[in-house]
Amino acid sequence: MIPTLLLCAIAAVDPPSAATDHEAPAATPMVEAAAGSDSPAPDANRPASPAERRSMGDEGGGDGTAGGDGGASPSTVSDPLVVGARVHGRFKLSDQDPKAAFDLRRARLAFDLQPMWWLAAQLDADVSKVPMVKDAYVDVGPGELLRVRVGQFKTPYSRIELTSSGRLPLVDRGLVNQELTIAAGFGGRDRGLMVHGSIASLGYAVAIHNGTATQDEVDDGKDVGARLTYKPARVLELGVSGGYLLRNARVVGVVPRRFASGGVDLRLRLARLEVVGEALYAQDPLVANDVRTLAGIAYAVVRGPKVSGVSIRPVAKVEILDQNVQANRDQARALGLGLNLHFAKALRLMVQAEELWAEANSALAEERRLVVQLAFDDRLPLALRHPGGS
């Protein structure tokens, strides 16, 4: 069962109050400071650069926005080159084999280049994975209204998937993300082209991909992902995601068919409390029959008090996955509780416990686990000396 120690830790946190020095500073309609970070928002008098957006998270839009991390461009370039590092090491205890294991979850090095206000590029590699290349793209455009991205990047689908692991308060994105977004192929990294941008409080992104993740193309079928976000108030952002997969007969063993998915999500920030929720519905392309999957995830994190300079942030999440809405007793549910300790802007200690329940006809196995993760995330702007400079 979930350790009672974590329940006690959450109960001990001060209740949310009016704005304090622990509360994130005010943000522009387009860019917010990370909920899992103490970094302030960029200057409200100008749009954020791609490098600034990476300071809030490098995967997709970082915070689940539609426009991606290059959705805006400043009139001047302050940091033409930014180098980032991300190292997440963990220890996991589980009632499934292996019952105790150390893991290097991420070991990433990223380069953000913006030589001109209208041109940006990103190269992101994870030396702990194969293939190593995560993001590799060029992003161009006249301003925040319109940008075009070509290369390998995340499909604009699902707030949870687009939220950077550097700012996500959970050690993992969860079973809904793994089973529906990634395994089914509606989200995640792929090679293609994306048009994205923002208009006032609206953000948009539409992308066409190979549909083969980070591998070479194998047929003529292409996938489409789209996302729209709307921020009616400083504390609330709403999102809608959609995906369309075309599977060609040249793929061995797959009947040529089309699959669709859609979802809605929100992020609510009230004083010290942040709540994120997402619901997804999809046709499952991994099975021959017409199977419809319904899933949802929600998590809440509290910016608790600081003790000796350490910020205490309890977190809780709940997930439900109905793998076939027409079948019985195939649901899976997960509950997680944890405590994140922020020692500095770049360092977090994350202790989280989770229990997964699966009904008799579910393809998932029940599991109880405890994860202790040390997460380092930092960025360093580098000053470039031009030829002839002093």
pLDDT at residue number 291? 87
Q: What DSSP string describes 201-235?
A: TEEEEEEEE-SSTTSPP-SS--EEEEEEEEEEETT
Q: What DSSP string describes 10-24?
A: HHTSPPP-S--TTSP
Contact 223, 244 (CB under 8 A): yes
Q: Report the distance separating Cα 261 and Cα 283, nearest Å.
A: 6
Q: Report DSSP state, residue 158.
A: -
Q: What DSSP string describes 157-183?
A: --HHHHB-TTT-SSSS--HHIIIIIIT
Nearest to 165 by CA among 375, 10, 20: 375
Q: What is the pTM of this model?
A: 0.81
Local structure of 54: helix, strand or coil: helix
What domains appear along the chain, each with residue ranges and CATH number?
4-381 (2.40.160.10)
Q: Report the distance separating Cα 287 and Cα 254, nearest Å.
A: 9
CA 278, 368, 350, 312 dihedral sign is positive
Please give the helix or strand (H or E) that residue 133 lies within, else none: strand 133-143
Query: Tell me: the pLDDT tens digits for 141-199?
Result: 999 999 999 999 999 999 999 999 999 999 999 999 999 999 888 999 999 999 999 99
Contact 106, 126 (CB under 8 A): yes
Q: Report DSSP state, residue 159.
A: H
Q: Report DSSP state, residue 53.
A: H
For residue 28, give Cα distances in angstroms to 113, 227, 236, 301. 23, 20, 12, 22
Residue 6: CA count within 13 A, CB half-sphere:
23
Q: Report the distance separating Cα 298 and Cα 309, nearest Å.
A: 29
Q: Report the distance separating Cα 219 and Cα 311, nearest Å.
A: 50
pLDDT at residue number 195? 98
pLDDT at residue number 58? 37
Q: Report the distance separating Cα 316 and Cα 296, nearest Å.
A: 14
CA 53, 54, 59, 63 dihedral sign is negative
Q: Report the distance separating Cα 228 and Cα 234, nearest Å.
A: 17
Query: Tell me: the pLDDT tens digits for 339-377?
Result: 999 998 899 999 999 999 999 999 899 999 999 999 999
Please confirm whether the linkage preceding 80 is cis (ω < 30° from 0): no
List, for the chain, all residue ranges whose pLDDT scores fall below the cut of 70: 1-77, 247-256, 288-289, 383-390
